[in-house]
Structure 1
Amino acid sequence: MTAPCSPDTFAAPEQILAPEWLLLRDKPVQDQAILVRQGKISALGSVDELQRQAPAIPVTALPGRLIMPGFIDSHHHLTQAFGKALVFGEPSEIFRRVWVPMESSLDEDFLYLSSKLAALEALRGGFTTVCDAGTRSAAALGSIARATEEAGIRCVLGMVCNDKQGTTLLDKNSILARADQHISAWQGTGLVSPSLAIPIPEIATDAMLQAVSSLCRDAGIIFQTHANEHLVAVERSLEQRGQRPVEHLYQAGALGPQTLLAHATLLTPTELRMIQETDTAVSYNPVASAWKGNAVAQAELMHAFNIRLGLGTDGTRSDGFRLMDYAEAAQRFAFGMAVGDSSCGGGWPWLDHATRGGANVLGLGHRTGEIAVGLDADFLLIDLEVPEMVPSWDLSWELVRLANRDQIEGVFVAGKLRLWQGWPTDWDARALMRAVSAQAKAGVAKAPIQKIHSFTDQHRQQHNARNGQEIGHGGQHATAAAALNR
């Protein structure tokens, strides 16, 4: 049986943690422990080896448990947490009708509340790092940074840098000056790292795309943009430029190792080659594809071609285990079944892309993403003694297909326990939820949102009304149904 633990178990600033299983880069291993010191993984080895290195540091035995790297969300929208079910059932490009109007109405207080709520959800889902793609709000990004730092999650903080607003050209130099300030403000400041973003290529000049991407390359940070997310965006790019979005970015000189493409679902072979040749990275967002996309990214093909991949939620649902399950399942439904591919990667790629791969595409591989000496101690404590995981034959693949969020006992970021059994250890999450409930509806109500699809109860009424009309005009069908139900 699993030994009882509590937050106090992990209170010591330096510890040797000895779980039953430890997930390393290549595979899960047993009889290995980690030495956590000053927020970092200081050593790996057997308990005896680590005790010889650090005889004064206590050993915490963790039978029945796994320590694994925290999940990395390579594409999130922290300031959209108030929207959530507003976009269920909506047709593509909801950013035009929902997200831009809503975000544009947010003040600093709303930015803070939304971001902290999103950070809490992410931690509960096992994410230790989130990448925010940038907000359209004019309020200070410091509100987002403060929220994530207080929540205790690592954040890549995007600043939007487009220089086209409708038919108006904005001042390129002033935008780049603010971008420089953003980089200086957050580079090397603990849990927050800077990033620059242009939400979609068409809202920036080619010169701006190239300048922002180059600025990111020179600063050693990532440049984010959405590409080929929806069919309408691809067609609009073809109409305006005669090029598809990735072709546009390539021609503008905006692709490269510093560039992270969100979605990249509708790619031609030529675009795939451009991404591969430039070592551009992709955030694969399978839940977003299922909920509101036009296609699924060719992630298994990208993996085979050594295109760098991370997994992203796109702000849909912050649950790392379900994200991996979706990542694999979407490949099988979209591509594997048509060619008889019953494996679709064999499980482990999705585990890699959710952790180490995600850190790599965010430029954070030197800090997080795996259990390795010298990296920050960002990890999850997982209870394996649950029916879903017994008996165990293939732990890596079982984590992708069978594991659940409720198995996450502890979430650690930079060596500190941030969440225990789903709730923060050092701040009041329920007070935050009360504040959000009190303010969110008023904030959303004043935004000029255009929602097309009905809410569930209204949709049910519409369905029943249509059904009643059809039955009224087709008495024979109604009589036959009544007979079958007698």
Structure 2
Amino acid sequence: MNHALTAADLANGHQLLMPEWLLLKDGPVRGHAVLAKQGKFAAVGPAAELRAHYPHLPALDLPQTLLMPGMVDTHNHLTQAYGKSLVFGEPSEIFRRIWVPLEGQLDHHHVYLSSKLAALEALRGGFTTVADAGTRSAASVDAIARATTEAGVRCVLGLICNDLNGSAALAEPGEIIGRAARHLAQWESHALVHPSLAVSIPEAASDSMLAQVSGMCAEAGRVFQTHANEHLVAVERSLVQRKLRPIEHLHKVGALGPQALLAHATLVTPGELKMLADTGAAVSYNPVASAWKGNAVAPAELMNTFGIRVGLGTDGTRSDAFRLLDYAESAQRFAYGMAAGDSSCGGGAAWLEHATWRGADALGLQHVTGEIAVGKDADFLLVDLDVPEMQPSWDISWELVRLANRDQIQAVFVAGKLRLWQGWPVDWDAKALMRDISGAARTAVAAAPIQKIHGFASARGVQP
């Protein structure tokens, strides 16, 4: 990285950026440049050609720098940022004992603060797009939209449409569908917020609601989100209640399709894999969640081989894209590759694809983001390659998956605007947000009826 470079050098939104390396959809290339204009990539190509075509524009040389697409988190819970370490060491289905009680205590202001903190963490970790799976708070999701927009991250904003709580109805179906229609319409044309509808888990909605909500998303060109086949206990409940596994249940009611994004899908049968492939449904592969509180690892490489669309998700565990890449490859290796003698498990380039343009495709945003290409929104990172970990360099794709660190991210751009410089926002006070959250989070956690199975590893912290 040119150490004389400053945030002010990047403030000019109408200049040629000339990185040493540029990560395109087909792989990394040298000697290329990009031009961002009005929030989109206006030109991408060999540096000499762009210099000749735009002789009147200034050119900013970026030696020992990689310009790459911002990464895409296809599954997050932005309103759970208050309780990140509350779940460490806890058994599965933590949503029942921790997340539902905690989110139930969050008012509009808490939802805003938590979401803005999560958005900041995402940007610091190299994510320019995050998909929020929906909050269980009674507060309006407008608070999430406000927070993510102010932070500058692109957000797929889920609205929960559950109509069942066990055998009890939660609300009139017409009321839920009306709210869902208004949500889709409200954010239809927003620059950074992309509306989505969600059902927490298939058993939380009636068959008609699952079909209607998924159908509404298909008609609107938006993504329908749900958690499916994540935990053994949930699979068994579905078998007891419906004599179908969750993905089989979704398929039977017509909720699968190109609009469907299933989070986790770790416990899948060959038949369910075929259902996903045949319907064009997508899967969010969450390897860190599998390690921290899951029952299994999704066969992401096999899914990709069978034509199932796969993106990477954090599940709100930690918003560090480079560590997620490492986990994605390592989890496949431990769960499947080692037993089969597979020494590549897709290779480094494959996981970069799942974190960028394949992730955007899983969210239905392939026309908006995920790659450095003319007409796409200018969501990108400047990554410092002048570090010991990246020297000597032989295969930059593998090196990004296994060796790169979050602290190498020098700049984060979303829609052509510089959002972060060296890890901190350029136009709002992140430290003030952190001070506000310090007290607010403790108040919310103390009031929530959280049930932790294990105590804290140290005496410090707030006891729930």
Whether these two folds match at TM > 0.5 is yes
Which residue matches 2:225? 224
* Aligned pairs for 1:174-253 within 5 A: 174-253=175-254
Which residue matches 2:273? 272
- Alpha-carbon offset, residue 349 of structure 1: 1.1
- Alpha-carbon offset, residue 442 of structure 1: 0.7
Equivalent-residue separation in structure 2 for 1:418 and 1:260 (angstroms): 28
* Aligned pairs for 1:135-174 within 5 A: 135-169=135-169, 170-174=171-175
* Aligned pairs for 1:27-106 within 5 A: 27-106=27-106
User: SS state of the match for residue 82, structure 1?
Assistant: helix
Which residue matches 2:304? 303
Equivalent-residue separation in structure 2 for 1:93 and 1:20 (angstroms): 46
Provide Cα deviations, 1:113-141, integer angstroms capped at 9, x if missing partner.
00000000000000000000000111111
Q: Is the 8 A contact 1:210 1:253 kept in 2?
A: yes
- Alpha-carbon offset, residue 3 of structure 1: 4.4
Equivalent-residue separation in structure 1 for 2:7 and 2:195 (angstroms): 31
* Aligned pairs for 1:84-483 within 5 A: 84-169=84-169, 170-457=171-458
Whichever residue aligns with residue 457 of structure 1, its letter is S
Q: Is the 8 A contact 1:3 1:62 kept in 2?
A: no
Equivalent-residue separation in structure 2 for 1:29 and 1:296 (angstroms): 33
Provide Cα deviations, 1:1-44, integer angstroms capped at 9, x if missing partner.
73421110111121100000000011100110001111110011
User: SS state of the match for residue 130, structure 2?
Assistant: strand
Which residue matches 1:9? 9
Runs of 4+ in 1 over 3 A off after TM superposition: none
Whichever residue aligns with residue 158 of structure 2, its letter is G
Whichever residue aligns with residue 110 of structure 1, its letter is H
Provide Cα deviations, 1:77-126, integer angstroms capped at 9, x if missing partner.
00000010100011110000100111111000000000000000000000
Provide Cα deviations, 1:259-299, integer angstroms capped at 9, x if missing partner.
00000000010111111110100000000000000000000
User: SS state of the match for residue 102, structure 1?
Assistant: helix
Equivalent-residue separation in structure 2 for 1:218 and 1:270 (angstroms): 27
Equivalent-residue separation in structure 1 for 2:4 and 2:32 (angstroms): 20
Query: Gapped runs of 5+ residues in structure 1?
Result: 460-486
User: SS state of the match for residue 367, structure 2?
Assistant: coil
Equivalent-residue separation in structure 1 for 2:22 and 2:13 (angstroms): 20
Equivalent-residue separation in structure 1 for 2:178 and 2:223 (angstroms): 17
User: SS state of the match for residue 202, structure 1?
Assistant: helix
- Alpha-carbon offset, residue 346 of structure 1: 1.4
Equivalent-residue separation in structure 1 for 2:344 and 2:356 (angstroms): 20
Q: Is the 8 A contact 1:3 1:63 kept in 2?
A: no
Q: Using structure 1 for the length normalisation, give the TM-score.
A: 0.93
**Who wins on radius of gyration, i.e. which is larger?**
1
- Alpha-carbon offset, residue 458 of structure 1: 6.0
- Alpha-carbon offset, residue 48 of structure 1: 3.0
- Alpha-carbon offset, residue 168 of structure 1: 2.2
Whichever residue aligns with residue 320 of structure 1, its letter is A
Instruction: Report the count of equivalent residues.
Output: 459
Q: Using structure 2 for the length normalisation, give the TM-score.
A: 0.98
Equivalent-residue separation in structure 1 for 2:3 and 2:47 (angstroms): 18
Whichever residue aligns with residue 30 of structure 1, its letter is R
- Alpha-carbon offset, residue 166 of structure 1: 3.2
- Alpha-carbon offset, residue 303 of structure 1: 1.2
User: SS state of the match for residue 110, structure 2?
Assistant: helix
Provide Cα deviations, 1:323-351, integer angstroms capped at 9, x if missing partner.
00000000000011111111111111111
Q: Is the 8 A contact 1:78 1:132 kept in 2?
A: yes
Equivalent-residue separation in structure 1 for 2:372 and 2:65 (angstroms): 15
